[in-house]
Structure 1
Amino acid sequence: MKVKINSWRGVATWRWIANDDNCGICRMAFDASCPDCKVPGDDCPLVWGKCSHCFHIHCIMKWLNSQQTSLLCPMCRQEWKFKG
Protein backbone atom coordinates (compact mmCIF):
# COMPACT_ATOMS: atom_id res chain seq x y z
CA MET A 1 0.00 0.00 0.00
CA LYS A 2 1.38 3.41 -0.98
CA VAL A 3 0.32 6.65 0.60
CA LYS A 4 0.39 9.88 -1.36
CA ILE A 5 0.62 13.11 0.62
CA ASN A 6 -1.27 15.88 -1.16
CA SER A 7 -0.25 18.67 1.14
CA TRP A 8 1.69 19.22 4.32
CA ARG A 9 1.70 22.14 6.76
CA GLY A 10 4.43 22.56 9.30
CA VAL A 11 3.72 24.15 12.64
CA ALA A 12 6.31 25.64 14.95
CA THR A 13 6.20 27.55 18.21
CA TRP A 14 8.77 29.61 20.04
CA ARG A 15 9.14 30.95 23.54
CA TRP A 16 11.44 33.40 25.21
CA ILE A 17 13.37 31.79 28.04
CA ALA A 18 12.91 34.29 30.83
CA ASN A 19 12.70 34.18 34.60
CA ASP A 20 9.05 35.28 34.48
CA ASP A 21 6.06 34.96 32.14
CA ASN A 22 5.13 38.65 31.93
CA CYS A 23 6.93 41.96 31.51
CA GLY A 24 7.05 43.77 34.85
CA ILE A 25 6.31 47.10 33.18
CA CYS A 26 3.51 46.49 30.65
CA ARG A 27 2.30 43.20 32.20
CA MET A 28 2.00 41.62 28.75
CA ALA A 29 3.21 38.06 28.27
CA PHE A 30 6.75 37.72 26.94
CA ASP A 31 5.42 35.38 24.24
CA ALA A 32 3.25 38.27 23.04
CA SER A 33 4.55 41.71 22.17
CA CYS A 34 4.70 44.92 24.14
CA PRO A 35 1.91 47.50 23.59
CA ASP A 36 4.13 49.39 21.09
CA CYS A 37 4.63 46.39 18.79
CA LYS A 38 2.19 44.52 16.61
CA VAL A 39 4.10 41.28 16.16
CA PRO A 40 6.12 39.41 18.81
CA GLY A 41 9.60 38.12 18.04
CA ASP A 42 12.80 39.74 16.87
CA ASP A 43 11.23 43.21 16.57
CA CYS A 44 10.25 43.12 20.25
CA PRO A 45 13.19 41.44 22.02
CA LEU A 46 13.66 40.90 25.71
CA VAL A 47 16.51 42.42 27.68
CA TRP A 48 17.91 41.44 31.05
CA GLY A 49 19.46 43.61 33.71
CA LYS A 50 22.35 42.64 35.93
CA CYS A 51 19.73 42.28 38.67
CA SER A 52 18.27 39.41 36.54
CA HIS A 53 14.94 41.12 35.86
CA CYS A 54 13.70 40.90 32.29
CA PHE A 55 11.58 43.33 30.22
CA HIS A 56 10.58 44.07 26.64
CA ILE A 57 13.26 46.38 25.19
CA HIS A 58 10.69 49.08 24.39
CA CYS A 59 9.22 48.98 27.89
CA ILE A 60 12.52 49.33 29.74
CA MET A 61 13.75 52.07 27.38
CA LYS A 62 10.56 54.09 28.03
CA TRP A 63 10.97 53.49 31.76
CA LEU A 64 14.61 54.60 31.77
CA ASN A 65 13.84 57.69 29.66
CA SER A 66 11.07 58.70 32.09
CA GLN A 67 13.38 58.65 35.14
CA GLN A 68 14.49 62.08 36.29
CA THR A 69 17.41 61.13 38.52
CA SER A 70 19.01 57.69 38.68
CA LEU A 71 18.23 54.79 36.37
CA LEU A 72 16.68 52.10 38.56
CA CYS A 73 15.14 48.71 37.85
CA PRO A 74 11.35 49.08 38.14
CA MET A 75 11.13 45.80 40.06
CA CYS A 76 13.92 45.87 42.65
CA ARG A 77 15.08 49.52 42.50
CA GLN A 78 18.72 48.53 42.03
CA GLU A 79 20.77 50.61 39.61
CA TRP A 80 19.80 49.42 36.11
CA LYS A 81 22.62 48.03 34.03
CA PHE A 82 22.06 45.90 30.95
CA LYS A 83 23.37 42.37 31.35
CA GLY A 84 26.13 41.93 28.85
Structure 2
Amino acid sequence: MKVTVKRWHAIAQWQWDIGRTDEHGDAEEDVCGICRVPFEGCCPTCKVPGDDCPLIWGECSHVFHMHCLLKWIGTVASKQQCPMDRRPWVTAERKVTTNGS
Protein backbone atom coordinates (compact mmCIF):
# COMPACT_ATOMS: atom_id res chain seq x y z
CA MET A 1 0.00 0.00 0.00
CA LYS A 2 1.40 3.38 -1.00
CA VAL A 3 0.61 6.47 1.08
CA THR A 4 1.02 10.05 -0.12
CA VAL A 5 1.20 12.80 2.49
CA LYS A 6 -0.50 15.86 1.05
CA ARG A 7 0.28 18.18 3.95
CA TRP A 8 1.28 18.12 7.58
CA HIS A 9 1.31 20.47 10.54
CA ALA A 10 4.14 20.16 13.07
CA ILE A 11 3.72 21.06 16.72
CA ALA A 12 6.60 21.36 19.20
CA GLN A 13 7.10 22.23 22.82
CA TRP A 14 10.27 23.20 24.68
CA GLN A 15 11.25 23.97 28.21
CA TRP A 16 14.38 24.91 30.10
CA ASP A 17 16.12 22.02 31.84
CA ILE A 18 16.62 23.49 35.30
CA GLY A 19 17.64 20.14 36.71
CA ARG A 20 14.67 19.77 39.04
CA THR A 21 11.90 17.17 38.81
CA ASP A 22 8.70 16.55 40.74
CA GLU A 23 7.70 13.28 42.42
CA HIS A 24 6.59 11.83 39.04
CA GLY A 25 9.92 12.55 37.34
CA ASP A 26 8.48 15.38 35.24
CA ALA A 27 10.37 18.65 34.96
CA GLU A 28 9.38 20.92 37.83
CA GLU A 29 7.73 24.12 36.68
CA ASP A 30 9.32 27.02 38.43
CA VAL A 31 9.33 30.78 38.25
CA CYS A 32 12.05 33.41 38.33
CA GLY A 33 12.51 34.57 41.93
CA ILE A 34 12.78 38.18 40.79
CA CYS A 35 10.02 38.75 38.20
CA ARG A 36 7.83 35.73 39.19
CA VAL A 37 7.35 34.76 35.50
CA PRO A 38 7.74 31.02 34.64
CA PHE A 39 11.12 30.11 33.16
CA GLU A 40 9.42 29.02 29.92
CA GLY A 41 8.19 32.59 29.58
CA CYS A 42 10.50 35.54 29.20
CA CYS A 43 11.49 38.28 31.57
CA PRO A 44 9.59 41.60 31.46
CA THR A 45 12.42 43.10 29.38
CA CYS A 46 12.13 40.58 26.52
CA LYS A 47 9.36 39.80 24.06
CA VAL A 48 10.24 36.22 23.06
CA PRO A 49 11.39 33.42 25.39
CA GLY A 50 14.34 31.20 24.52
CA ASP A 51 17.98 31.84 23.74
CA ASP A 52 17.54 35.64 23.82
CA CYS A 53 16.30 35.40 27.41
CA PRO A 54 18.49 32.67 28.98
CA LEU A 55 18.55 31.41 32.53
CA ILE A 56 21.47 31.88 34.89
CA TRP A 57 22.38 29.65 37.82
CA GLY A 58 24.20 30.71 40.96
CA GLU A 59 26.52 28.52 42.99
CA CYS A 60 23.77 28.68 45.61
CA SER A 61 21.61 26.69 43.08
CA HIS A 62 19.06 29.49 42.58
CA VAL A 63 17.98 30.15 38.99
CA PHE A 64 16.83 33.44 37.43
CA HIS A 65 16.23 34.98 34.02
CA MET A 66 19.62 36.46 33.13
CA HIS A 67 18.18 39.94 32.47
CA CYS A 68 16.34 39.98 35.81
CA LEU A 69 19.49 39.03 37.69
CA LEU A 70 21.68 41.55 35.86
CA LYS A 71 19.18 44.31 36.66
CA TRP A 72 19.10 43.18 40.32
CA ILE A 73 22.90 42.98 40.65
CA GLY A 74 23.14 46.47 39.12
CA THR A 75 21.23 48.02 42.02
CA VAL A 76 22.97 49.35 45.12
CA ALA A 77 20.49 47.51 47.38
CA SER A 78 21.57 44.11 46.00
CA LYS A 79 25.05 44.36 47.53
CA GLN A 80 26.06 41.82 44.83
CA GLN A 81 24.06 39.13 46.67
CA CYS A 82 21.61 36.44 45.58
CA PRO A 83 18.08 37.86 45.95
CA MET A 84 16.85 34.60 47.50
CA ASP A 85 19.38 33.76 50.21
CA ARG A 86 21.61 36.89 50.33
CA ARG A 87 24.83 34.94 49.81
CA PRO A 88 27.42 36.67 47.61
CA TRP A 89 26.35 36.03 43.99
CA VAL A 90 28.70 33.71 42.11
CA THR A 91 27.58 32.40 38.71
CA ALA A 92 27.79 28.61 38.52
CA GLU A 93 29.56 26.91 35.64
CA ARG A 94 26.60 25.14 34.06
CA LYS A 95 25.70 24.28 30.52
CA VAL A 96 22.17 25.41 29.60
CA THR A 97 20.22 23.01 27.38
CA THR A 98 16.64 22.86 26.16
CA ASN A 99 14.56 19.72 26.01
CA GLY A 100 12.13 19.18 23.15
CA SER A 101 8.99 17.12 23.81
Same fold (TM over 0.5): yes
Q: Percent identity, aligned pairs only? A: 50
Q: Work out which of the residue numbers 23, 35, 42 in structure 2 matches 1:33.
A: 42
Which residue is 1:23 aligned to? 32
Superimposed CA distance per residue, residues 5-61 of structure 1 (whole angstroms, 9 cap, x where no aligned partner): 110122211111224610000000100000000000000000000000000000000
Which residue is 2:14 aligned to? 14
Q: Which structure: greater strand fraction?
A: 2
Number of equivalent positions: 84
Structure 1 Cα separation of the partners of residues 60 and 69 of structure 2: 13
Question: Contact 2:72–2:78 at 8 Å: present in 1 too?
Answer: no
1:66 aligns with 2:82: no
| Unmatched runs of 5 consecutive residues or more in structure 1 | none
Higher relative contact order (CA 8 A, sep 6+): 2
SS of corresponding position for 1:55 = strand
Structure 2 Cα separation of the partners of residues 17 and 61 of structure 1: 21
How high is the TM-score relative to the length of structure 1? 0.90
Structure 2 Cα separation of the partners of residues 69 and 32 of structure 1: 24
